Amino acid sequence: MVSREHERILQDTEREQGNTALRNNVKAALALADAVRSTLGPLGLDKMLISDVGEVQVTNDGVTVLEAAKVEHPTARMLISTSTTQDVEAHDGTTSAIVLTAELLLNALDWIDRGIHPSVLVSGYRMALEYALDVIESISRSASDEDLIQVVKTSLSGKVGEETRSSLSLLAMEAAKVALERSNREIIDPNDIKRITIRGGRISDSERIDGIVMRKTRLDSQTPDKLNSGKILILDGGLDPKELSIDASIRITEPGMLARFIERQKQELQDRVQAIADVGTDLLIVRDGVNDDAISMLREVGIVTYRRVERDDLELISRACGASIVRDTRGINSESLGTFESLKEESWESIDHVRIHGSVGSGQTVIIRGSTDSILEENQRAFDDAIGVACGLVQDSSILPGGGAIQIALARRLRDYSTSIPGREQLAVEAYAAAMESIPRALAQNAGLDGLDRILEITAAQASNDNDWLGLDVTDRQIHDMSERGVIEPLRTTRQALIGATESAISVLRIGDILWAKQDPQTPDWQSELGQDED
């Protein structure tokens, strides 16, 4: 009876079990990795992405490629989630995380075909991960100020040209250091640094300035366009007459009733403006609109006003000035106000901008320039990556060698470690070590070199010189100490890639059954209702 019930439940479900399910999952992972593998490294190739509406985007960023792809397979979507997490946590290494995941799965499938149970491989992979994390900590070094710039430049390799890499790396490190000095928080959020793009000029004309800059002009041109200092109020709402909370209509039964109603609305608006003025407000930032009648009222009490300010800008101004964001003027008091040191309106490329310099941290804005819209978009994406890496570095300056050096070092150490494991988990650790070599192999192949030959050369060089920092510099195709060549990367990038790739691979290996629900074409609800009406 129970088996019949099971059959009835699963009769409308397609089922994949055991090795069939795993093999299909590995195929999906490999297909995803193959889509981005060629972008890896400074000589990696770009991808042209074309949207449904014909918009064209050329990029070298792995996570951008994956997020733009329309992927249906659940395992592939799981790996894309891993890439996105890598981008959020480390702002680099997204392609490496995907390539590592696919290689870990491929190596595991080989052992499963030979009779090793997935649970053994899962256990071995966890052991290998813990050992690898300890190894990268022992190999890492603390970066000097010069190293920090090189790390950011390395993260932009292959994404933009040399001039752009240098300019954006300097801007990002400067902004990150300023943010650390002025912030009272342990974690520096890259989003605390405002970015504005202005078409015109070269990338070298980009600059970092103190203060929060917005593409805004003051509400009333008769109020000052420059203030030396004062109190600021941030209103998360608007200054409009309050509307009725329910649908209703007003019936005019006697002359003058409408005029009195309008006058009452104006008085209510006047009371709100007066409440803002009474707490000592000099500068008012409003998220929504401001009624025309309120404009003259604000001018009379001497308040400079900016309206329709985005929520993100409200947050930045709030932190820079130490102001609270209030929802209603009825609840404001002097403690709600913040302090700004200066306000100034300027015109850049015929567009009005206002700069607000706060008293607490002051805030900062990076102006990114470029000659065309496409170049501006590319530069902004590159700076987003650069500032993310830079903010991570000022909190943890530990660095590792690039050029495939750290992966080769891990492979060497893991193979030695595997010999100390008596059980079948030894095979999983060896498979993990082999997966590490997928990164230097891809770097070499993308530079037009033989991947296997370069892996053997780097391995021999590291072992004979007892130097884990020897890797491949694809610019001259020779093996060098990566610290001397400035090819270095943050420890946190490699750490997150290892953790993300291992956990994703383990999640896929633990899947022993895939159930696909069948969905037959269904009659639209409106047709069903129509048929009922006809009956």
C-alpha–C-alpha distance, residues 76 and 57, integer Å = 22
pLDDT, position 251: 62
Q: What is the dihedral of CA 250, 253, 257, 258, to 10 degrees?
A: 50
C-alpha–C-alpha distance, residues 383 and 534, integer Å = 63
Tell me the sheet residues that pair with 234.
285, 325
Q: Which is catalytic among the residues 61, 210, 384, 473?
A: 61
Claim to verify: residue 452 and residue 508 sit in the same structural domain: yes
Claim to verify: residue 41 and residue 117 sit in the same structural domain: yes
**Is residue 497 in a domain?**
yes
Determine the longest span between alpha carbons in the chain, in angstroms: 102
C-alpha–C-alpha distance, residues 442 and 408, integer Å = 13
CATH number at residue 410: 1.10.560.10
**Is residue 4 in a domain?**
no
**pLDDT tens digits, 241-288:** 765 445 556 565 666 666 776 788 788 889 889 999 999 999 999 999
pLDDT, position 523: 46
Specify whether the CB–CB gap between 428 and 111 falls below 8 A: yes
Claim to verify: residue 449 and residue 512 sit in the same structural domain: yes
pLDDT, position 102: 94
CATH number at residue 224: 3.50.7.10
C-alpha–C-alpha distance, residues 101 and 80, integer Å = 11
**Is residue 127 in a domain?**
yes
Interstrand relation of 194-199 and 207-210 (parallel, antiparallel or unpaired): unpaired
**Is residue 370 in a domain?**
no
C-alpha–C-alpha distance, residues 80 and 29, integer Å = 10
Claim to verify: residue 331 and residue 219 sit in the same structural domain: yes
Claim to verify: residue 131 and residue 41 sit in the same structural domain: yes
Q: Which is catalytic among the residues 94, 154, 305, 494?
A: 94
**Is residue 381 in a domain?**
no
Claim to verify: residue 68 and residue 119 sit in the same structural domain: yes
Q: Which residues of 497-513 are buried (b: 16+ CB within 10 A; e: fewer)?
A: bbbbbbbbbbbbbeeee
SS3 30: helix
Claim to verify: residue 407 and residue 355 sit in the same structural domain: no
Q: Which is catalytic among the residues 59, 75, 82, 95?
A: 95
Judge whether 95 counts as a catalytic residue: yes
**How many CB atoms within 10 Å of residue 106?**
19
Claim to verify: residue 50 and residue 133 sit in the same structural domain: yes
Q: What is the dihedral of CA 421, 426, 431, 434, to 10 degrees?
A: 40
- Phi-psi sector, 93: left (phi>0), alpha (psi -120 to 50), beta: left
**Is residue 157 in a domain?**
no
Judge whether 94 counts as a catalytic residue: yes
Judge whether 61 counts as a catalytic residue: yes
Whole domain around residue 71: which residue ranges?
14-142+400-517
Q: Which is catalytic among the residues 385, 459, 493, 502?
A: 385
Domain count of the fold of the chain = 2
Mark which of 362, 390, 421 sits at the end of a domain.
362
DSSP code of 229?
S
pLDDT, position 526: 43
pLDDT, position 437: 97
Claim to verify: residue 217 and residue 332 sit in the same structural domain: yes
Compute the residue count for the chain: 535
**Is residue 27 in a domain?**
yes
Specify whether the CB–CB gap between 90 and 492 falls below 8 A: yes
Claim to verify: residue 101 and residue 220 sit in the same structural domain: no
Which residues in the chain land under pLDDT 50? 1-2, 244-245, 520-535
pTM: 0.80
Instruction: Locate 495 and state its tokens.
Output: 């750490």
Claim to verify: residue 239 and residue 342 sit in the same structural domain: yes
pLDDT, position 535: 43
**pLDDT tens digits, 58-105:** 777 777 887 777 777 888 888 888 888 888 888 888 899 999 999 999
Claim to verify: residue 116 and residue 18 sit in the same structural domain: yes
**Is residue 298 in a domain?**
yes
Residue type at 390 in one-letter notation: A
Which sign does the torsion angle of CA 263, 265, 267, 273 carry?
negative
**How many CB atoms within 10 Å of residue 80?**
19
